[in-house]
Amino acid sequence: SQTIHQWPATLVQPVGSPLSLECTVEGTSNPNLYWYRQAAGRGLQLLFYSVGIGQISSEVPQNLSASRPQDRQFILSSKKLLLSDSGFYLCAWSASLAGVRTGELFFGEGSRLTVL
């Protein structure tokens, strides 16, 4: 069966420090991968999605970047964190872009980032 893991689960970082959140999927090949963020009191916002190795689509301009160095690995990064980067980050995968239309989007447990 397919599983998705992301880490770390909780992170407290000072302003200006770098960030790396990692997400891996097991049990499937060539998944579509997504990073979402939930800021306090707001809905889940799609940040990035990837349909293959090295292919990243950015949804909103921001202080973050994403990379996909391997088929089942998706990394969210920042060179210098801002206070506004605080939030709950969720990685997700689907077997296809069309899978999203049937609700077949599977989420990790999330990473809570606090920037001080």
Partner 1 sequence: GNSVTQMEGPVTLSEEAFLTINCTYTATGYPSLFWYVQYPGEGLQLLLKATKADDKGSNKGFEATYRKETTSFHLEKGSVQVSDSAVYFCALVKAAGNKLTFGGGTRVLVKP
d(CA 62, CA 114): 17
Nearer to partner 1, 53 or 107 (CB): 107
Q: In which residue are the tokens 């077949």 written?
A: 104
Kindly list the residues in this chain that would bind partner 1 in the complex (CB under 8 A): 4, 32, 36, 38, 41-46, 49, 59, 90, 92, 97-98, 100-110
* Minimal distance, residue 35 CB to partner 1, in Å: 12
Q: Is 10 exposed, middle or buried (0-12, 13-18, 19+ CB in 10 A)?
A: exposed
Nearer to partner 1, 25 or 81 (CB): 25
* Minimal distance, residue 15 CB to partner 1, in Å: 26
Q: Cα 6 to chain center, whole Å?
A: 8
* Minimal distance, residue 73 CB to partner 1, in Å: 17
